[in-house]
Copies of this chain bind each other. A is one copy, B any other.
Amino acid sequence: MGYTRDELRFNGWGLSRQTFDMRGRDDEVWGFVREALGLDELPTTPAAPLDALRLPPVALGEDVLDGLRAITDADRVRTDRYERAFHAVGKSYYDLVRIRAGALEHAPDAVVYPTSHEETERLLAFCAERRVAVVPFGGGSSVVGGVEARAEGGQAGVVTLDTTRMTRLIAIDETSLTATFEAGVYGPDLEAALGARGYTVGHFPQSFEFSTLGGWIAARGAGQQSNRYGSAAKLLVGARVATPRGEWRTTPFPGSAAGPDLNHLVAGSEGTLGVITEATVRIRRLAEARDFVSFLFRSWSEGAEAVRAITQAELPVATLRLSDVDETRFYGGFKNVLKPSKVQELALSALGGAGFDAPCVLMVGFEGAPGTVRRAWRKVLTTATRGGGLYVGRSPGHAWYEQRFAMPYLRDPLMDRGVGIDTLETSTLWANVPRLYEAVTGAIRGALTAWGTPGIVLAHISHTYPAGTSLYFTFLFPRDLDDEVGQWRAAKEAASRAISEHGGTISHHHGVGLDHAPWLAAEKGPLGIDLLEAAKRSVDPEGVMNPGKLIGG
Name the distance in Å between A283's Cβ and chain B's nearest Cβ: 9
Question: Is there contact, CB below 8 Å, between B256 and A507?
Answer: yes
A175 at the B interface (CB under 8 A):
yes
Other-chain contact of A260, B256, B264, B427, B428 (Cβ < 8 Å): B264
Given the contacts A527-B248, A535-B531, A538-B534, A178 and B257 also touching, CB distance less than 8 Å: no
In the complex formed, the residue of B with least CB distance to A269 is B260
Residue of B nearest to A503 (CB): B251
Q: Is the CB of B507 within 8 A of A253?
A: no
A200 within 8 A of B: no
If the complex has contacts A429-B176, A468-B176, A527-B247, are A258 and B507 also in contact, measured as CB distance less than 8 A?
yes
Chain B residues with CB under 8 Å of A428's CB are 253-254
Partner of A258, one of B249, B469, B523, B537: B523
Q: Is A278 an interface residue (CB 8 A)?
A: no
Q: How far is the CA of A527 from the CA of B219 in the complex (A)?
A: 21
Contact B258 A512 (CB under 8 A): yes
Query: Taking A252-B429, A527-B247 as contacts, is the C-beta distance between A257 and B466 under 8 angstroms?
Result: no
Measured between beta carbons, the chain B residues less than 8 angstroms from A173 are 429, 431
Is there an interface contact between B177 and A531, defined as CB atoms closer than 8 Å? no
Q: How far is the CB of A449 from chain B (nearest CB, A)?
A: 28
Least CB distance from A417 to B in Å reads 31
Q: Is A282 an interface residue (CB 8 A)?
A: yes
Considering the complex, give the chain B residue whose CB is closest to the CB of A252.
Answer: B429
Complex contact B508–A257 (CB within 8 A): yes
Given that A254-B465, A466-B282 are known contacts, is A531 also in contact with B527, CB under 8 Å in the complex?
Answer: no
Closest-by-CB residue of B relative to A305 is B175
A467/B282 contact (C-beta < 8 A), A254-B429, A431-B175, A527-B245 known = yes
Which residues of B have CB within 8 Å of A511? 257-258
Contacts of A111 in B (CB 8 A): none
Given contacts A262-B524, A468-B176, whether A253 and B427 have CB atoms under 8 Å apart is yes
A537's closest neighbor in chain B, by CB? B534
Contact B431 A257 (CB under 8 A): no
Q: In the complex, A220→B432 CA distance in Å?
A: 28
Determine whether the beta carbon of A510 is less than 8 Å from that of B257: yes
> Which of B251, B505, B527 lies in contact with A523, CB distance below 8 A?
B251
Are A248 and B528 in contact, CB atoms less than 8 angstroms apart?
Answer: yes
The answer to whether A530 and B523 have CB atoms under 8 Å apart is: no
Whether, in the assembled complex, A8 has its beta carbon less than 8 Å from a beta carbon of chain B, the answer is no
A250 within 8 A of B: yes
Separation of A512 and B527 alpha carbons in the complex (Å): 24
Contact assessment for A247 and B525 in the assembled complex, using a CB-CB cutoff below 8 Å: yes
A255 contacts B535, C-beta separation under 8 Å: no
Could you give, for residues 511-534 of chain A, a 1 whenever the CB lies within 8 Å of some chain B CB and a 0 otherwise? 110001000100111011011111
> Interface digits, A492-518 against B, CB 8 Å rule (1 contact, 0 not)?
000000000000111111111000100
A531 touching B539, Cβ below 8 Å: yes
- Taking A254-B468, A257-B512 as known contacts, 20 extra A-B pairs with beta carbons closer than 8 A to each other, sorted by chain A number, are A173-B431, A177-B467, A178-B467, A248-B528, A249-B528, A253-B427, A254-B429, A254-B465, A254-B470, A255-B470, A255-B505, A258-B516, A259-B270, A259-B532, A259-B551, A260-B268, A261-B267, A262-B524, A264-B264, A265-B265
A-B contact list, 9 entries, CB within 8 Å: A176-B430, A176-B432, A177-B312, A254-B429, A254-B470, A255-B465, A255-B505, A527-B539, A534-B534
> Which 5 A-B pairs rank lowest in CB-CB distance, beginning with the nearest?
A254-B468, A264-B264, A534-B538, A254-B465, A220-B257
**Chain A residues with a Cβ under 8 A of chain B:** 173, 175-178, 219-222, 231, 233, 237, 243, 245-270, 282, 284, 308, 312, 427-432, 463-470, 504-512, 516, 520, 523-525, 527-528, 530-535, 537-539, 550-551
